[in-house]
Amino acid sequence: MTFGRAMRAEWTLDPEVTYLNHGTVGAVPRRVLAAQQAIRDEIERRPSQFLLRDVSGLVGKPRETPTLMRVAAGHIARFIGAREPDVVFVDNTTTGINAVLRSLSVDPGDELLLTDHNYGATARIAAFVARERRARVVTVPVPYPTFDPGRLVAVIAGAITSRTRVAVIDHITSETALIFPLGAIADACRARGVAVLVDGAHTPGVLPLDVPALGVDWYVANLHKWAHAPRSSGVLWAHPSRQASLHPAVISWGLDQGFAAEFDWVGTRDPSPWLAAPAGVQFLDELGFANARAYNHELAWTAATLLCDRWGTTLGVRPDDIGAMVTLPLPERLGSTAAHAAELRDRLLFDDRIEVQVHAGHGRLWTRVSAQVYNDQADLERLAESVARRV
């Protein structure tokens, strides 16, 4: 299959905009949107039966066949290398992180270990739980902008104390787009008796997954970013030993009926993003996951080298440190504050029709470029020229 500009036909993206921001909220392929709409049409033909019997099994006699939610969960479980009973759907990664941290037994004086690269919402959830339980958040600095995975493992291990109850670790960081050495981090935490909760928001569809083999306790991820599911659609995996004490943020009819029963029905809502999630995985399979992954990674690394060379900046990461996104420094003359970042992002979008993430940190501005199969080097050239004109 030929990737690049021709693939734009598979999406409904505005043809006038150079879209280099797939990692933020994803972009749903046309055929997956069609699959979702077919599900919605079916719901409206027989709403009560579809939602209360077929999707949830909430009413009627015990079912002899799995509910539609469990069937969809089975497809996603295979995609991430897991068993169906250990997988439930959540609205998004933020919802899943809430469920885990707010279900966790935390006493006054206990510690929640994060890094300074955790997603902002995750850090706020941890702060909320710590405040409610009179615990505290310990934030570990990540070696950056020169990234050293081995040093990161050592820094995290060194921050663990006898009061550390959980380490909340990204698999791929949001702003900085770094792949963390998750297996080594999990080993270090497990050796010290610390549970590991993974924020894998950007991982499904970027890296092949065997979640149980990672040695973590919980893994939460989005499917609506790189796995091509409709938004919002997330997945929560929990080790069997962690499921009995885990509850969704919204308690409903499934309380104390088991892990899947609690999460599969938390009130009336549109289940079509989850039921259509297997269509997103099928689309990825048809693209050829390995080929798409290789194309996106190569294009992201091309962005790193081409843009840094054009702007006279220096990148502190290696090809193995990134997946389908790369975060690189912008020229210093463009500013260093959040206000400068917002202004540049607006000008790129509204003046030059380029959608790309821009943020401030470490004394300067940065841009995070996402590479998807509908992008090509011409998109990178447009960004390079647009920024260069403003220096």
CATH number at residue 109: 3.40.640.10
Q: Let me know whether 101 and 221 are in one domain.
A: yes
Query: Domain containing 300: what range?
Result: 5-28+288-389
Sequence-distant (6+) residues with CB within 8 A of 120 are none
Q: Let me know whether 49 and 77 are in one domain.
A: yes
The 10 Å Cβ neighbour count of residue 44 is 8
Q: Let me know whether 296 and 327 are in one domain.
A: yes
**Rounded to whole angstroms, how far apart are CA atoms 216 and 218?**
6
Q: Let me know whether 217 and 114 are in one domain.
A: yes
By DSSP bridging, strand 111-115 and strand 136-140 are: parallel
Q: What is the pLDDT of residues 302-318, one digit of tens each?
A: 999 999 999 999 999 99
Q: Let me know whether 118 and 135 are in one domain.
A: yes
Q: Is residue 132 part of a domain?
A: yes
Q: Let me know whether 127 and 150 are in one domain.
A: yes
Q: Let me know whether 244 and 268 are in one domain.
A: yes
Q: Is residue 33 part of a domain?
A: no
| CA distance to 49, 182, 286, 371, per residue, from 380 (Å) | 49, 30, 26, 10
Of the residues 266, 282, 298, which one is the last residue of a structural domain? 282
By DSSP bridging, strand 218-222 and strand 195-199 are: parallel
Q: Let me know whether 19 and 130 are in one domain.
A: no
Q: What is the pLDDT of residues 70-128, one digit of tens each?
A: 999 999 999 999 999 999 999 999 999 999 999 999 999 999 999 999 999 999 999 99
Cis preceding-peptide flag for 56 (omega within 30 of 0): no
Q: Let me know whether 250 and 295 are in one domain.
A: no
Q: One digit per residue, pLDDT tens: the chain, 391 residues?
A: 789 999 999 999 999 999 999 999 999 999 999 999 999 999 999 999 999 999 999 898 888 899 999 999 999 999 999 999 999 999 999 999 999 999 999 999 999 999 999 999 999 999 999 999 999 999 999 999 999 999 999 999 999 999 999 999 999 999 999 999 999 999 999 999 999 999 999 999 999 999 999 999 999 999 999 999 999 999 999 999 999 999 998 999 999 999 999 999 999 999 999 999 999 999 999 999 999 999 999 999 999 999 999 999 999 999 999 999 999 999 999 999 999 999 999 999 999 999 999 999 999 999 999 999 999 999 999 999 999 999 8
CATH number at residue 13: 3.90.1150.10
Of the residues 282, 297, 315, which one is the last residue of a structural domain? 282
Q: Let me know whether 21 and 137 are in one domain.
A: no
Q: Is residue 360 part of a domain?
A: yes
Of the residues 282, 304, 335, which one is the last residue of a structural domain? 282
| CA distance to 72, 92, 174, per residue, from 119 (Å) | 28, 13, 6
Q: Let me know whether 161 and 264 are in one domain.
A: yes
Count: domains in the chain: 2
